[in-house]
Amino acid sequence: MTPVIEGWFTTGEEPRLLASRCTACRNLVFPPVSSDAGAATFYCRNPACDGQEHDSVELSPRGTVWSYTDAQYQPPAPYLPAADPFQPFALAAVELPEGIVVLGQVADGFGVSDLRVGAQVELVIETLNVDETGERTIYRWKPVAA
Amino acid sequence: MSVVIAGAGMHPWGKWGRNFTEYGVHAARAALQDSGIAWADVDLVVGGETVRNGYAGYVAGSTFAQALGWNGARIATSYAACATGAQAIDTARARILAGLSEVALVVGADTTPKGFLAPNAGERWNDPDWLRFRLLGMTNPAYFALYARRRMDLYGATAEDFAQVKVKNARHGLENPYARFRKESSVEEVLASPMVSDPLHLLDICATSDGAAAVVLTSAEYAKRHGIASPVTVAAVSTVTPTFPNTVIDMPLLATDCSAVTGVPERTFKESIGQAAYDEAGVDPADVDVAEVYDLSTALELDWIEDLQLCKRGEAEALLRAGDTTLGGRIPVNPSGGLACFGEAVPAQAIAQVCELTWQLQGRAEGRQVEGARVGITANQGLFGHGSSVILTR
């Protein structure tokens, strides 16, 4: 199992999203600044800050739902459907305690009827699709019992 | 010194299967004829560019200029996704205000394939527009649905409310000769159409269309000198970017800016688009007689009504239910029929909104006229932080 994209999240027992944090003003950016762009090319997005360096930090594994929906039709390429025929899946925008809203798919087995603005969700890692290298994993939001 | 709209024109919207140049030239000629100005007298052409489709669109300005017959005019091309038309108008207006041009032709035209809009082919692991599809399957309607679902949970909006927006706009568009869909719609029909992204049904979401729109802009003095009848004034063009931090999730991004360091700004991005137009025009939201807003989805029209301060946050459903936003109501919204009746033709749509307001303010919007309209506002937003709002007055 390999993450579908490098450097955005950790895997294992307690997975976390990874953000870039400005070393000057501590502003956070997700998705993190691309590693191939190099730290020297990072200019802080906070217009009041002239920081150019960042750390990699873990974001909180839990947040509250800002809003949610689902995909009842198969999205076009470059989306790679996980199953044939296509299986609808849910999506959520989740507000983290760090003051950032992160979009993600909702965990397998959960749909819009399990969600509500303000509801609690937690980060999990699941399989997005299978390609020639094997299973590719993605972070997802899983509803937490109230 | 002010800039006026001397003429407006469109190609009827639909799925015609022809080249975008043909649509654009048709609209351009219609706008020129409407203004009574000869093509030879145009000294600036601004084209609205499309990136997704018909790659000649990359050189839109010169494509139209060549098709109309080279006349030596100055040239520019604008790209701002859905806000392209407003940015093109702004470019023309700025040049006229600077005294560098007197007569500008602004044209936007497109052909759009069926189905979901999607990024161009290729692997681009640093492109948010590509990544949102690859990693999340996040389509445009999915973003519209997030906003719609939030309205339901926060303000008690219902699927019937959203359908009523479609019903209203379908009725508005019945008499519009440029509209693609000219057919009444019912709440039952909308709710019975397939669910695309909960809570939005197929008929809650605008189609993609072929279409074109054009306007002729001149200085007010030129219009006066040439006896142009009832020009309307371009009182403002807002092309603002967001103010950090942009805290409302925005297509095509995967996350918002972080608000922890600076706090939340006074206005959201969409609120700031309208406010910048009001400030520039010296117009109060209460002065607005008619609005053309970007109803990519039915629910999004309700968001824009609030973003433009035509009512308070969370009250757009009440306005809709009271009939205030329909023709004959307090503040008619999308009298043209909006995207619900036109479908989306990206580089043309913001210009089409301005065409409609021009006709409304001139009292020429037959069958859909907002009686006595003197102040009109458009609203729209382009991918990657492009604001778009135009205020016209007479």
ipTM, 2 decimals? 0.96
Asked if A48's CB is within 8 angstroms of B262's CB, the reply is yes
The residue of chain A nearest to residue B124, with distances taken between CA atoms, is: A78
Contact B348, B110 (CB under 8 A): yes
Contact B140, B154 (CB under 8 A): no
Question: B281 CA to chain A: closest CA distance, Å?
Answer: 28
The residue of chain A nearest to residue B151, with distances taken between CA atoms, is: A67
Asked if A102's CB is within 8 angstroms of B254's CB, the reply is yes
Asked if B126's CB is within 8 angstroms of A79's CB, the reply is no
Question: A68 CA to chain B: closest CA distance, Å?
Answer: 5
Contact B77, B47 (CB under 8 A): yes
The residue of chain B nearest to residue A92, with distances taken between CA atoms, is: B146
- List pLDDT tens digits, range B244-285: 999 999 999 999 999 999 999 999 999 999 999 999 999 999
The residue of chain B nearest to residue A104, with distances taken between CA atoms, is: B136
Q: Please compute, for residue B143, the number of CA atoms within 13 A of its CA located in the half-sphere on the CB side.
A: 20
Asked if A72's CB is within 8 angstroms of B142's CB, the reply is no
Question: A73 CA to chain B: closest CA distance, Å?
Answer: 6
What residues in A contact B202, CB-CB < 8 Å?
none
DSSP B34-53: HHT--GGG--EEEEEP-SSS
Contact B280, B236 (CB under 8 A): yes
Cβ partners under 8 Å of residue A17, min gap 6:
A8, A9, A30, A58, A59, A102, A123, A139
Helix (H, G, I), strand (E, B) or coil at A65: strand
- List pLDDT tens digits, range B134-191: 999 999 999 999 999 999 999 999 999 999 999 999 999 999 999 999 999 999 999 9
- List pLDDT tens digits, range B26-62: 999 999 999 999 999 999 999 999 766 545 566 789 9
pTM of the entire predicted model = 0.96
Per-residue pLDDT of chain A (146 residues; tens, 9 = 90+): 899 999 999 999 999 999 999 999 999 999 998 655 554 467 899 999 999 889 999 999 999 999 999 999 999 999 999 889 999 999 999 999 999 999 999 999 999 999 999 999 999 999 999 988 899 999 999 999 86
Question: A37 CA to chain B: closest CA distance, Å?
Answer: 10
Enter the DSSP assignment of B323. Answer: T
Asked if A112's CB is within 8 angstroms of B154's CB, the reply is no
